[in-house]
Amino acid sequence: MSTGLELKTCDIAALVRSGKRSAVDVTQAVLADIEARDSTLNCVTRLLHERALQAAAEVDRKVAAGEDPGALAGVPFGIKDLFDVQGQITTAGSVVLRNDPPSDEDAVLVARLLEAGAIPVALTNMDEFAYGFATDNAHNGVTRNPHALDRLAGGSSGGSAAGVAASMFSLGLGSDTNGSIRVPASLCGVWGLRATQGRLSVEGSYPFVASLDTVGPFADSASGLQACFEALTKETMVPVDTANLRIARLGGWFADNMSAPMQAAVDGLAEFLGAGTVVELPEVARARAAAFIISASEGAALHLDRLKERAADYDPAVRDRLLAGALLPATLIFKAHRLRNWFRAEMHKAFTDVDVLIAPAVVGESPRFDEPLIEVGGEMVSARANLGLYTQPLTLAGFPVLTVPLVVPGLPLGAQLVARPGREDILLALGRRLEESGIALARRV
Protein backbone atom coordinates (compact mmCIF):
# COMPACT_ATOMS: atom_id res chain seq x y z
CA MET A 1 0.00 0.00 0.00
CA SER A 2 1.14 3.56 -0.70
CA THR A 3 2.67 5.50 2.18
CA GLY A 4 0.34 8.33 1.19
CA LEU A 5 3.08 10.52 -0.26
CA GLU A 6 2.72 9.05 -3.71
CA LEU A 7 -0.45 11.11 -3.47
CA LYS A 8 -0.58 14.89 -3.18
CA THR A 9 -1.81 17.04 -0.31
CA CYS A 10 -5.47 17.36 -1.24
CA ASP A 11 -5.76 13.68 -2.22
CA ILE A 12 -4.36 12.54 1.14
CA ALA A 13 -6.75 14.83 2.99
CA ALA A 14 -9.74 13.61 0.96
CA LEU A 15 -8.97 9.95 1.69
CA VAL A 16 -8.44 10.54 5.40
CA ARG A 17 -11.52 12.74 5.72
CA SER A 18 -13.64 10.05 4.02
CA GLY A 19 -12.30 7.34 6.32
CA LYS A 20 -10.72 5.44 3.43
CA ARG A 21 -7.25 5.98 4.88
CA SER A 22 -6.15 6.15 8.49
CA ALA A 23 -4.15 9.20 9.51
CA VAL A 24 -2.20 7.00 11.93
CA ASP A 25 -1.26 4.57 9.14
CA VAL A 26 -0.12 7.42 6.89
CA THR A 27 1.89 8.97 9.72
CA GLN A 28 3.57 5.73 10.74
CA ALA A 29 4.62 5.11 7.14
CA VAL A 30 5.93 8.67 6.81
CA LEU A 31 7.99 8.45 10.00
CA ALA A 32 9.46 5.09 8.93
CA ASP A 33 10.27 6.48 5.48
CA ILE A 34 12.09 9.49 6.92
CA GLU A 35 14.10 7.26 9.24
CA ALA A 36 15.06 5.05 6.31
CA ARG A 37 16.04 7.74 3.81
CA ASP A 38 17.00 10.95 5.55
CA SER A 39 20.53 9.86 6.39
CA THR A 40 21.31 10.46 2.71
CA LEU A 41 19.52 13.79 2.30
CA ASN A 42 19.78 15.33 5.80
CA CYS A 43 16.50 17.25 5.57
CA VAL A 44 15.46 16.50 9.15
CA THR A 45 17.07 17.41 12.46
CA ARG A 46 14.44 15.86 14.76
CA LEU A 47 11.53 13.49 14.22
CA LEU A 48 8.38 14.27 16.19
CA HIS A 49 7.22 10.67 16.70
CA GLU A 50 5.02 11.08 19.76
CA ARG A 51 3.51 14.41 18.73
CA ALA A 52 2.81 13.19 15.20
CA LEU A 53 1.07 9.99 16.29
CA GLN A 54 -1.01 11.86 18.89
CA ALA A 55 -2.17 14.34 16.25
CA ALA A 56 -2.94 11.53 13.80
CA ALA A 57 -4.93 9.60 16.39
CA GLU A 58 -7.01 12.71 17.10
CA VAL A 59 -7.75 13.10 13.38
CA ASP A 60 -8.90 9.47 13.17
CA ARG A 61 -11.04 9.91 16.29
CA LYS A 62 -12.81 12.89 14.74
CA VAL A 63 -13.44 11.01 11.51
CA ALA A 64 -14.89 8.04 13.40
CA ALA A 65 -17.09 10.36 15.48
CA GLY A 66 -18.43 12.19 12.45
CA GLU A 67 -16.65 15.41 13.42
CA ASP A 68 -14.81 17.64 10.98
CA PRO A 69 -11.12 16.62 11.13
CA GLY A 70 -9.98 19.67 9.18
CA ALA A 71 -9.25 20.48 5.56
CA LEU A 72 -5.72 19.06 5.81
CA ALA A 73 -6.64 15.93 7.73
CA GLY A 74 -3.74 13.50 7.88
CA VAL A 75 -1.39 15.59 5.72
CA PRO A 76 2.20 15.40 7.07
CA PHE A 77 4.25 18.59 7.32
CA GLY A 78 7.81 19.54 8.20
CA ILE A 79 8.74 22.56 10.31
CA LYS A 80 11.83 24.71 9.89
CA ASP A 81 13.59 24.61 13.24
CA LEU A 82 13.02 28.26 14.02
CA PHE A 83 9.30 27.75 14.72
CA ASP A 84 8.28 26.88 18.26
CA VAL A 85 6.88 23.39 18.75
CA GLN A 86 5.46 22.63 22.16
CA GLY A 87 7.85 20.50 24.20
CA GLN A 88 10.77 21.04 21.80
CA ILE A 89 13.74 23.40 22.06
CA THR A 90 13.74 25.91 19.22
CA THR A 91 17.38 25.92 18.12
CA ALA A 92 17.18 28.02 14.91
CA GLY A 93 19.87 25.67 13.62
CA SER A 94 22.41 26.60 16.29
CA VAL A 95 24.07 24.91 19.25
CA VAL A 96 23.92 28.31 20.92
CA LEU A 97 20.25 27.75 21.79
CA ARG A 98 20.34 24.01 22.49
CA ASN A 99 20.20 24.46 26.26
CA ASP A 100 17.23 26.83 26.17
CA PRO A 101 14.00 25.60 27.81
CA PRO A 102 11.50 23.76 25.59
CA SER A 103 8.71 25.82 24.07
CA ASP A 104 5.53 26.10 26.10
CA GLU A 105 3.30 26.32 23.05
CA ASP A 106 3.30 26.00 19.30
CA ALA A 107 4.07 28.88 16.96
CA VAL A 108 0.91 30.37 15.48
CA LEU A 109 1.46 28.78 12.06
CA VAL A 110 2.16 25.35 13.54
CA ALA A 111 -0.99 25.61 15.64
CA ARG A 112 -3.09 26.58 12.64
CA LEU A 113 -1.93 23.63 10.58
CA LEU A 114 -2.71 21.35 13.52
CA GLU A 115 -6.19 22.88 13.75
CA ALA A 116 -6.65 22.00 10.08
CA GLY A 117 -5.77 18.37 10.81
CA ALA A 118 -2.22 18.38 9.43
CA ILE A 119 0.37 16.20 11.16
CA PRO A 120 3.73 17.64 12.36
CA VAL A 121 6.31 14.96 11.61
CA ALA A 122 9.71 16.63 11.75
CA LEU A 123 11.85 19.67 12.45
CA THR A 124 13.98 20.52 9.44
CA ASN A 125 17.53 21.62 8.75
CA MET A 126 18.39 25.26 8.03
CA ASP A 127 21.29 27.68 7.83
CA GLU A 128 22.19 28.80 11.35
CA PHE A 129 19.85 31.60 12.43
CA ALA A 130 18.50 31.65 8.83
CA TYR A 131 21.60 33.54 7.65
CA GLY A 132 22.47 31.83 4.37
CA PHE A 133 21.25 30.49 1.04
CA ALA A 134 22.72 26.97 1.17
CA THR A 135 21.39 25.01 4.20
CA ASP A 136 24.98 24.09 4.93
CA ASN A 137 25.03 24.03 8.71
CA ALA A 138 28.25 23.69 10.70
CA HIS A 139 26.38 21.85 13.47
CA ASN A 140 23.82 19.76 11.56
CA GLY A 141 25.51 19.25 8.21
CA VAL A 142 24.43 20.10 4.67
CA THR A 143 21.04 19.25 3.18
CA ARG A 144 21.41 17.61 -0.22
CA ASN A 145 19.23 18.31 -3.20
CA PRO A 146 16.98 15.26 -3.72
CA HIS A 147 17.35 15.60 -7.50
CA ALA A 148 21.16 15.60 -7.45
CA LEU A 149 22.94 14.58 -4.27
CA ASP A 150 26.09 16.49 -5.19
CA ARG A 151 24.19 19.79 -5.29
CA LEU A 152 22.75 22.30 -2.82
CA ALA A 153 19.11 22.31 -1.78
CA GLY A 154 19.26 26.07 -1.28
CA GLY A 155 18.47 27.90 1.91
CA SER A 156 17.93 28.92 4.49
CA SER A 157 14.74 26.81 4.52
CA GLY A 158 16.36 23.99 2.55
CA GLY A 159 15.34 21.16 4.86
CA SER A 160 11.65 21.94 4.43
CA ALA A 161 11.91 22.37 0.65
CA ALA A 162 14.03 19.26 0.13
CA GLY A 163 11.75 17.21 2.37
CA VAL A 164 8.77 18.06 0.20
CA ALA A 165 10.78 17.36 -2.95
CA ALA A 166 11.87 14.00 -1.50
CA SER A 167 8.20 13.06 -0.77
CA MET A 168 9.01 12.80 2.95
CA PHE A 169 6.18 15.17 3.80
CA SER A 170 3.60 17.04 1.73
CA LEU A 171 3.93 20.52 3.19
CA GLY A 172 6.74 22.45 4.84
CA LEU A 173 6.96 25.64 6.87
CA GLY A 174 9.77 28.05 6.12
CA SER A 175 10.81 31.65 6.55
CA ASP A 176 11.91 34.13 3.90
CA THR A 177 13.88 37.27 4.71
CA ASN A 178 15.94 37.59 1.54
CA GLY A 179 14.82 34.55 -0.44
CA SER A 180 14.93 31.66 2.01
CA ILE A 181 11.69 30.16 0.66
CA ARG A 182 12.06 31.23 -2.96
CA VAL A 183 15.61 29.97 -3.53
CA PRO A 184 15.18 26.40 -2.17
CA ALA A 185 11.72 26.08 -3.74
CA SER A 186 13.28 26.85 -7.11
CA LEU A 187 16.33 24.61 -6.70
CA CYS A 188 14.29 21.68 -5.33
CA GLY A 189 11.39 22.05 -7.76
CA VAL A 190 8.50 22.62 -5.35
CA TRP A 191 5.90 25.33 -4.81
CA GLY A 192 6.77 28.06 -2.32
CA LEU A 193 4.99 31.19 -1.14
CA ARG A 194 6.52 34.25 0.46
CA ALA A 195 3.37 35.89 1.76
CA THR A 196 2.82 39.64 1.97
CA GLN A 197 4.97 40.86 4.83
CA GLY A 198 2.83 40.83 7.96
CA ARG A 199 0.00 38.72 6.56
CA LEU A 200 1.15 35.49 8.23
CA SER A 201 1.99 35.66 11.91
CA VAL A 202 5.66 35.40 12.88
CA GLU A 203 4.67 34.83 16.52
CA GLY A 204 6.61 31.87 17.83
CA SER A 205 9.31 32.02 15.17
CA TYR A 206 12.90 32.94 15.97
CA PRO A 207 13.71 36.29 14.32
CA PHE A 208 16.51 37.08 11.93
CA VAL A 209 15.76 40.57 10.59
CA ALA A 210 12.59 41.78 12.24
CA SER A 211 11.90 44.52 9.70
CA LEU A 212 12.13 42.10 6.75
CA ASP A 213 11.18 38.66 8.09
CA THR A 214 8.28 36.80 6.51
CA VAL A 215 7.06 33.22 6.85
CA GLY A 216 5.29 30.89 4.47
CA PRO A 217 4.72 27.37 3.15
CA PHE A 218 6.19 24.90 0.67
CA ALA A 219 3.89 22.39 -1.02
CA ASP A 220 3.78 19.47 -3.42
CA SER A 221 1.13 21.12 -5.60
CA ALA A 222 -0.51 24.46 -6.30
CA SER A 223 -3.79 23.18 -4.88
CA GLY A 224 -1.97 21.96 -1.77
CA LEU A 225 -0.28 25.32 -1.38
CA GLN A 226 -3.63 27.08 -1.54
CA ALA A 227 -5.18 24.71 0.99
CA CYS A 228 -2.21 25.28 3.28
CA PHE A 229 -2.37 29.05 2.91
CA GLU A 230 -6.09 29.04 3.66
CA ALA A 231 -5.40 27.06 6.83
CA LEU A 232 -2.63 29.46 7.86
CA THR A 233 -4.80 32.55 7.31
CA LYS A 234 -8.13 30.96 8.32
CA GLU A 235 -9.52 32.50 5.13
CA THR A 236 -11.08 30.92 2.06
CA MET A 237 -9.73 32.25 -1.21
CA VAL A 238 -12.36 33.78 -3.49
CA PRO A 239 -11.99 32.40 -7.05
CA VAL A 240 -10.05 34.66 -9.39
CA ASP A 241 -10.53 34.76 -13.15
CA THR A 242 -6.97 34.61 -14.48
CA ALA A 243 -7.94 35.08 -18.14
CA ASN A 244 -7.79 38.86 -18.05
CA LEU A 245 -4.86 39.37 -15.72
CA ARG A 246 -2.32 41.92 -16.90
CA ILE A 247 1.02 40.13 -16.72
CA ALA A 248 4.44 41.59 -17.49
CA ARG A 249 8.08 40.58 -17.20
CA LEU A 250 10.61 42.32 -15.02
CA GLY A 251 13.51 43.51 -17.19
CA GLY A 252 16.87 45.11 -16.52
CA TRP A 253 18.47 43.45 -13.50
CA PHE A 254 16.01 40.54 -13.74
CA ALA A 255 16.82 39.87 -17.40
CA ASP A 256 20.60 39.69 -16.98
CA ASN A 257 22.87 36.83 -15.87
CA MET A 258 20.39 33.98 -16.36
CA SER A 259 21.76 30.65 -17.55
CA ALA A 260 20.56 29.53 -20.97
CA PRO A 261 18.13 26.96 -19.45
CA MET A 262 16.67 29.56 -17.08
CA GLN A 263 16.33 32.08 -19.90
CA ALA A 264 14.44 29.52 -21.98
CA ALA A 265 12.23 28.58 -19.04
CA VAL A 266 11.26 32.18 -18.23
CA ASP A 267 10.72 32.94 -21.93
CA GLY A 268 8.36 29.96 -22.16
CA LEU A 269 6.43 31.02 -19.08
CA ALA A 270 6.09 34.58 -20.34
CA GLU A 271 4.90 33.38 -23.73
CA PHE A 272 2.29 31.09 -22.20
CA LEU A 273 0.97 33.91 -20.01
CA GLY A 274 1.04 36.48 -22.80
CA ALA A 275 3.50 38.64 -20.90
CA GLY A 276 4.78 40.78 -23.75
CA THR A 277 5.27 43.93 -21.71
CA VAL A 278 8.55 44.53 -19.88
CA VAL A 279 8.68 46.55 -16.66
CA GLU A 280 11.96 47.85 -15.27
CA LEU A 281 12.37 48.74 -11.61
CA PRO A 282 14.82 51.54 -10.78
CA GLU A 283 17.95 51.17 -8.66
CA VAL A 284 17.65 47.40 -8.22
CA ALA A 285 21.34 46.97 -7.41
CA ARG A 286 21.04 49.54 -4.64
CA ALA A 287 17.90 47.84 -3.37
CA ARG A 288 19.79 44.57 -3.10
CA ALA A 289 22.62 46.35 -1.30
CA ALA A 290 20.11 47.88 1.10
CA ALA A 291 18.71 44.43 1.85
CA PHE A 292 22.23 43.24 2.65
CA ILE A 293 22.87 46.19 4.96
CA ILE A 294 19.57 45.97 6.82
CA SER A 295 19.97 42.20 7.26
CA ALA A 296 23.56 42.44 8.50
CA SER A 297 22.89 45.31 10.89
CA GLU A 298 19.69 43.95 12.44
CA GLY A 299 21.08 40.43 12.65
CA ALA A 300 24.17 41.76 14.39
CA ALA A 301 22.13 43.82 16.85
CA LEU A 302 20.11 40.72 17.78
CA HIS A 303 23.18 38.58 18.45
CA LEU A 304 25.86 41.01 19.56
CA ASP A 305 25.61 40.47 23.33
CA ARG A 306 25.71 36.70 22.89
CA LEU A 307 28.57 36.94 20.42
CA LYS A 308 30.64 38.76 23.03
CA GLU A 309 30.30 35.74 25.30
CA ARG A 310 30.02 32.76 22.94
CA ALA A 311 31.43 33.68 19.53
CA ALA A 312 33.21 30.32 19.22
CA ASP A 313 29.90 28.46 19.40
CA TYR A 314 28.53 30.06 16.24
CA ASP A 315 28.88 28.67 12.74
CA PRO A 316 32.07 30.50 11.65
CA ALA A 317 30.55 31.79 8.41
CA VAL A 318 27.48 33.16 10.22
CA ARG A 319 29.59 34.61 13.03
CA ASP A 320 31.78 36.53 10.60
CA ARG A 321 28.79 38.01 8.77
CA LEU A 322 27.21 39.08 12.05
CA LEU A 323 30.41 40.66 13.31
CA ALA A 324 30.80 42.54 10.04
CA GLY A 325 27.22 43.78 10.40
CA ALA A 326 28.02 45.13 13.85
CA LEU A 327 30.63 47.43 12.29
CA LEU A 328 28.27 49.11 9.82
CA PRO A 329 27.95 52.86 10.43
CA ALA A 330 24.58 54.21 11.50
CA THR A 331 24.46 56.63 8.57
CA LEU A 332 24.66 53.75 6.09
CA ILE A 333 21.91 51.84 7.87
CA PHE A 334 19.70 54.95 7.85
CA LYS A 335 20.26 55.38 4.11
CA ALA A 336 19.36 51.72 3.52
CA HIS A 337 16.02 52.12 5.31
CA ARG A 338 15.31 55.33 3.45
CA LEU A 339 16.01 53.57 0.15
CA ARG A 340 13.71 50.77 1.23
CA ASN A 341 10.79 53.17 1.65
CA TRP A 342 11.49 54.75 -1.74
CA PHE A 343 11.83 51.37 -3.48
CA ARG A 344 8.55 50.16 -1.99
CA ALA A 345 6.82 53.19 -3.49
CA GLU A 346 8.44 52.44 -6.86
CA MET A 347 7.16 48.86 -6.66
CA HIS A 348 3.64 50.15 -6.14
CA LYS A 349 4.04 52.36 -9.22
CA ALA A 350 5.13 49.32 -11.24
CA PHE A 351 1.72 47.76 -10.61
CA THR A 352 -0.26 50.73 -11.95
CA ASP A 353 -1.07 48.88 -15.17
CA VAL A 354 -0.01 45.37 -14.20
CA ASP A 355 -1.44 42.62 -11.97
CA VAL A 356 1.49 40.18 -11.94
CA LEU A 357 5.21 40.51 -12.62
CA ILE A 358 7.41 37.59 -13.72
CA ALA A 359 11.06 37.20 -12.70
CA PRO A 360 13.52 34.32 -12.45
CA ALA A 361 13.97 32.95 -8.94
CA VAL A 362 17.64 32.03 -9.32
CA VAL A 363 20.35 32.41 -11.94
CA GLY A 364 20.22 28.75 -12.96
CA GLU A 365 20.34 25.19 -11.70
CA SER A 366 21.57 24.32 -8.23
CA PRO A 367 25.34 24.66 -7.78
CA ARG A 368 27.41 21.58 -6.99
CA PHE A 369 29.16 21.49 -3.62
CA ASP A 370 32.49 21.66 -5.44
CA GLU A 371 31.34 24.49 -7.72
CA PRO A 372 31.97 27.63 -5.66
CA LEU A 373 31.78 30.24 -8.44
CA ILE A 374 29.22 31.41 -11.00
CA GLU A 375 29.43 34.17 -13.58
CA VAL A 376 27.55 37.37 -12.79
CA GLY A 377 28.11 40.55 -14.77
CA GLY A 378 31.06 39.00 -16.55
CA GLU A 379 32.87 38.19 -13.30
CA MET A 380 33.24 34.93 -11.38
CA VAL A 381 31.63 35.36 -7.98
CA SER A 382 30.54 33.18 -5.05
CA ALA A 383 27.69 30.92 -6.11
CA ARG A 384 26.25 30.73 -2.60
CA ALA A 385 26.36 34.47 -1.97
CA ASN A 386 24.56 35.15 -5.24
CA LEU A 387 21.76 32.61 -5.06
CA GLY A 388 19.62 35.53 -3.89
CA LEU A 389 20.49 37.74 -6.84
CA TYR A 390 16.84 38.01 -7.96
CA THR A 391 15.12 37.51 -4.61
CA GLN A 392 16.92 40.02 -2.38
CA PRO A 393 15.84 43.21 -4.20
CA LEU A 394 12.16 42.22 -4.02
CA THR A 395 12.55 41.63 -0.29
CA LEU A 396 12.56 45.35 0.45
CA ALA A 397 9.02 45.99 -0.77
CA GLY A 398 7.31 43.20 1.19
CA PHE A 399 5.11 42.14 -1.74
CA PRO A 400 3.83 38.53 -2.00
CA VAL A 401 5.83 36.21 -4.27
CA LEU A 402 4.89 32.75 -5.52
CA THR A 403 7.72 30.45 -6.58
CA VAL A 404 6.58 28.36 -9.55
CA PRO A 405 8.38 25.04 -10.28
CA LEU A 406 8.64 25.13 -14.06
CA VAL A 407 8.48 22.01 -16.20
CA VAL A 408 11.95 21.93 -17.75
CA PRO A 409 14.50 19.33 -18.84
CA GLY A 410 17.39 18.75 -16.48
CA LEU A 411 17.50 20.02 -12.92
CA PRO A 412 14.64 22.07 -11.39
CA LEU A 413 14.24 25.77 -12.11
CA GLY A 414 11.70 28.17 -10.66
CA ALA A 415 10.24 31.56 -11.47
CA GLN A 416 8.91 34.27 -9.19
CA LEU A 417 5.39 35.63 -9.70
CA VAL A 418 4.90 38.90 -7.84
CA ALA A 419 1.59 40.60 -7.00
CA ARG A 420 0.41 43.61 -5.01
CA PRO A 421 0.35 43.30 -1.22
CA GLY A 422 -2.54 41.13 -0.07
CA ARG A 423 -3.15 39.59 -3.49
CA GLU A 424 -2.04 36.06 -2.78
CA ASP A 425 -5.40 35.06 -4.25
CA ILE A 426 -4.21 36.16 -7.70
CA LEU A 427 -0.93 34.30 -7.34
CA LEU A 428 -2.53 31.08 -6.12
CA ALA A 429 -5.17 31.15 -8.85
CA LEU A 430 -2.48 31.69 -11.46
CA GLY A 431 -0.42 28.89 -9.95
CA ARG A 432 -3.32 26.48 -10.25
CA ARG A 433 -3.81 27.49 -13.88
CA LEU A 434 -0.14 26.81 -14.61
CA GLU A 435 -0.36 23.46 -12.85
CA GLU A 436 -3.50 22.41 -14.70
CA SER A 437 -1.88 23.42 -17.98
CA GLY A 438 1.26 21.39 -17.28
CA ILE A 439 3.50 24.46 -17.37
CA ALA A 440 4.46 24.18 -13.69
CA LEU A 441 4.53 21.01 -11.60
CA ALA A 442 6.32 20.08 -8.40
CA ARG A 443 9.08 17.59 -9.04
CA ARG A 444 9.29 14.90 -6.37
CA VAL A 445 11.43 11.83 -5.96
Q: What are phi and psi of 382, to 5 degrees?
A: -60, 125
The DSSP H or E segment spanning 429 is helix 424-436
Tell me which of 80, 160, 205, 221 is the catalytic residue.
80
| HEC string for 118-132 | CEEEEEECCCHHHCC
Beta-carbon-side half-sphere exposure of residue 402 (alpha carbons within 13 Å): 32
> What is residue 210's three-state secondary structure?
coil
Tell me which of 8, 22, 94, 156 is the catalytic residue.
156
What distance in Å separates the CA atoms of residue 68 and residue 84, rounded to the nearest whole number?
A: 26
> What is residue 61's three-state secondary structure?
helix
Alpha helices per DSSP H over 311-400: 316-326, 330-350, 392-395
Tell me which of 22, 180, 221, 223 is the catalytic residue.
180
What distance in Å separates the CA atoms of residue 328 and residue 326, rounded to the nearest whole number?
A: 6
Asked about 180 being catalytic, the answer comes back as yes
* Backbone dihedral region for residue 19 (phi beyond 0: left; psi -120 to 50: alpha; all else: beta): left
Asked about 20 being catalytic, the answer comes back as no
Asked about 175 being catalytic, the answer comes back as no
What distance in Å separates the CA atoms of residue 160 and residue 385, rounded to the nearest whole number?
A: 20
Q: Which residues are catalytic?
A: 80, 156, 180
